[in-house]
Structure 1
Amino acid sequence: MLYELNEWFWQERLWFPEGLGWADLEDRDGRVYAKPRDLWVALPIALVFLIIRQIFERVVATPLASLLGVKETVRLKAQHNPTLESYYCNHTKNPTQTSITSLCKQTGYSERQVQRWFRRRRNQDRPSLLKKFREASWRFTFYLLAFIAGLAALIDVSTATLTLTPALLPPLTILPSQYWYYMIELSFYSSLLVSVASDVKRKDFKEQIVHHVATILLISFSWCFSYIRVGTLIMLLHDSSDYLLESAKMFNYAGWRNACNYIFIVFAAIFIFTRLVIFPFWIIYCTWVYPVTIYEPFFGYYFFNGLLMTLQCLHIFWAILIIRIAMRFLTNNEKVDDDRSDKDETDESEEEEEDETEDKKDMKKNGPVQNGHAVHNNNHSKTE
């Protein structure tokens, strides 16, 4: 059954236009073509990327964070309370006033004590600045090196690759630079898909998953069917702006406001030009419009362009967020903040400090306090 499924999946009429087939991708006369089995190389390289990342974040990113002045906030831990912990995990991290009143009756805590417990508990789950800086510095390093490697790979290819004429045909021989560029890009996005569960989660978490899956499918598909010329340009186009975004994040976490703002504006300009102009009106035009003048559409044609349109929808989604951030900065000179950041990422340590200040005032008025209340008025000090 598996053999029959494999034969059906790889049948020529699904993936090739009329007149072409697997025989056209066989090595001959010194010409070497991409083969589906080559993609297995990406799996061990992806594992190597995960290991290198751990080493990089500890040996390079952490000292760099210290050098740039990335400071960690000391967060107070919430004392263990089964009732509050159960409510936090099973219901909500931000209880309503009615829920707080109910929890006060169940635990014997005052309202301020319950509010403070939830505040401290939320802070425990929030990613630290150092964690976010490490992730951004790792992605910045890869995207920058990948962009340089992509430019170097283009030096080896013919003018036909640059013009995308024709976009998908005929297949070109694979050069060593293209082979490694493909394998490294595929391995990196595979490693991102594995690590996304432990990385800092933002509002566009689902969109990121869709992006990684679509990118992996695009890279794999374009390799299997020798759409190398268009695949190389798509990867280079994406890497051209991503390293700027990650560098802006790094400066933002370090508190370098001006550097962050101006790098972000440059990133926004390049992103909009490459993703909303070049990508749809050049790349997609050459894969969607031009090919049908040469051959009849087939399943692989629709599948490939469907993935490209998925990426384009994500580009539009992110472009709206980017323009919104850029407009705030240009019109009001506000700090550049990532609209993708979830409210759960916002540190409430300042509110903790305000609570501590209130405690000191209460101590002056009523004597020693515990958890924000004078001892002689606190009937629950033992439970605290």
Structure 2
Amino acid sequence: MEKLLNQWLWSEEFWLPPTITWHDIGGKTGGSRRPLPRDLLVALPLALGFIAVRFAFERVVALPLSRKLGVFDRVQVRVPPNPMLEAFYMQRKKHFTQSELMGLAKPCGLTLRQIQNWLRLRRKRDKPSNTKKFCEASWRFVFYLTAFTAGLAFLIDTAWFWDHRECWRGYPRQPVAESHYWYYILELSFYWSLLLCVSVDVKRKDFKEQIIHHIATISLISFSYCANYVRVGTVVMLLHDSSDFLLESAKMFNYAGWKKTCDSLFVVFAVVFLGTRLFVFPCRVLYSTFAESLDFFKPFPGYYLFNGLLLVLQALHIFWAYLILRMLYKFIFLGKVERDERSDDESDVEEEGEDSGMEEECCWEQSKGSLNSKLTSLADNCVLNNLTHQRRNMNSRLPKAR
């Protein structure tokens, strides 16, 4: 099995530059270590540990903090119990047609309008509360702030932090300090925990993009560690953490109703995000991985995979930058940030569209019925008028005939 894995999964021709073997990377010297793929196995139990710590943090710290900051939840609407509609809702959620609702009217003993109102109230009850959103944002804020502070402390004195060419000098025989190793492993464990909890977290508009982002990030961290791209990897992680904690703090104050603080933090976040993700990342990091690295080794399949994953991240940066610029436009010209375009509950807009569509269809059915009744009455009146007119003509002609 080990021979098969080394031949197919850990092929040196794919993952490493020509003439480089895994023996050139692996090992441990002094207070530093050389990366080995098996080092990443510790990330999975740590991810479960992150989930347990998050569970405790949200209940012991985040929940009392939300009450002190004045986080207000919407009043839960009471939904009349109806087992048949409940079973239909749990099976179909939001994907149902008008004909299916009309088929439920007779078995439930309700009108079409009553069924539509019941489903609307049922969906509102499933919406996540502001407290849940606040707890989730506060956990991410604590981690991103801690990771950014620790990463900056670890990298501020390194040569490759200021000169990205140093990321490749001496590659692949570059020892990894213990602090950089744990910085890498903890970031990987955290993103694994986010991916494992994606089904219970608040579902947002960019849900699919977040899944792609988590998978690309986990793949990047894992591959860059195995191939000893740790130096450039630490720079990439630090760039991402620099704006993420600002976004999470803006969300926290938004859920607490502190609009001015939220708007101010959002503007700072937008400046940092656009500067790091649209300028520093492509102009410094991507340029270094694409061009400067070729001064130290020749291209190989892993080189293209690594840069392809970085391009996926950059595409997501552009997508999120578009949403942020749209919010900045609202802030500048409308005077406030009305919605979090990147992170609001995904179901809000969809439900509004569905509700309006259901109402329009119902109104159309009503107007169609009234129109048919009017046409029918109009036709009846026309027939009666014609018969009356013919009778009068016959009566007027009878004396002349006599």
Q: Does 1:9 align with 2:9?
A: yes
What residue number does 1:265 align with? 267
Q: Deviations over 1:140-176 (max 9, x none)?
A: 010000000111111453x135312154452421112
Residue 160 of structure 1 corresponds to which residue in structure 2?
Answer: 160
**Contact 1:127 1:200 (C-alpha < 8 Å) held by counterparts:** yes
Partner of 1:344: 347
Q: Offset of 1:89 from its aligned partner?
A: 3.3
How high is the sequence identity, in percent, across the aligned residues?
51
Q: After alignment, is 45-54 or 2-11 more displaced?
A: 2-11
Equivalence map 1:86-97=2 (5 Å): 86-91=87-92, 93=94
2:83 is equivalent to residue 82 of structure 1: yes
Q: Quote the residue 1:315 is aligned against.
A: 317
Instruction: Give the TM-score normalised by structure 1.
Output: 0.84
Question: SS at 1:181's partner residue?
Answer: helix
Which residues in structure 2 correspond to 1:107-146 (within 5 Å)? Answer: 107-146=108-147
What are the ranges of 5 or more consecutive residues in structure 2 without an aligned counterpart? 352-402
CA–CA distance in structure 2, aligned partners of residues 155 and 216 of structure 1: 24
Q: Which has the larger radius of gyration?
A: 2
Compute the displacement of 1:235 (Å). 0.3
Structure 1: how far apart are the matches of 2:212 and 2:238? 19
* Aligned position for 2:376: none
SS for the counterpart of 2:176 is coil
SS of 1:32's partner is strand
Structure 1 position 343, deviation (Å) = 5.1
SS of the counterpart of 2:74? coil
**Structure 1's 28 and 191: CA in aligned 2 closer, same or farther, altered over 3 A?**
closer
Q: Please tell me the residue identity of whatever aligns with 2:347.
A: D
Q: State how far apart, in whole Å, the 1-side matches of 2:147 and 2:55 are.
A: 19
Deviation per CA, 1:162-202: give whole Å up to 9, x if none: 31215445242111211111111111111111011100001
The answer on whether the counterparts of 2:51 and 2:193 sit within 8 Å (CA) in structure 1 is yes
Residue type of the alignment partner of 1:224:
C
Report SS of the residue matched to 1:93: coil
Query: TM-score by structure 2 length?
Result: 0.80
Q: CA deviation at 1:130?
A: 0.7
How many equivalent pairs are there?
347
Change (3 A) 1:28 1:131: closer
Flag the structure with higher helix content.
2
* Correspondence for 1:377: none
User: Using the alignment, how far apart are the partners of 1:29 and 1:136 within structure 2?
Assistant: 40
Match of 2:67 in 1: 66
Greater shift after overlay, 89-98 or 294-303? 89-98
Selected match of 2:194 from 185, 189, 192: 192
Q: Is the 8 A contact 1:126 1:347 kept in 2?
A: no
Aligned counterpart, 1:366? none
Alpha-carbon shift at residue 9 of structure 1 (Å): 2.0
Residues in 2 aligned to 1:70 and 1:183: alpha-carbon distance in whole angstroms? 34
The whole-number CA distance in structure 2 between the counterparts of 1:253 and 1:295 is 50
Shift of 1:305: 0.4
Secondary structure class of the residue paired with 1:266: helix
CA distance in structure 2 between the aligned counterparts of 1:29 and 1:195, rounded to whole angstroms: 37
Partner of 2:37: 36
Q: Distance in 1 between matches of 2:29 and 2:350?
A: 63
Q: Deviations over 1:101-148 (max 9, x none)?
A: 554334222455323311220022111111101000000010000000
Question: Root-mean-square deviation (CA), in Å?
Answer: 2.3
Quote how far apart the aligned CAs of 1:26 are: 3.8
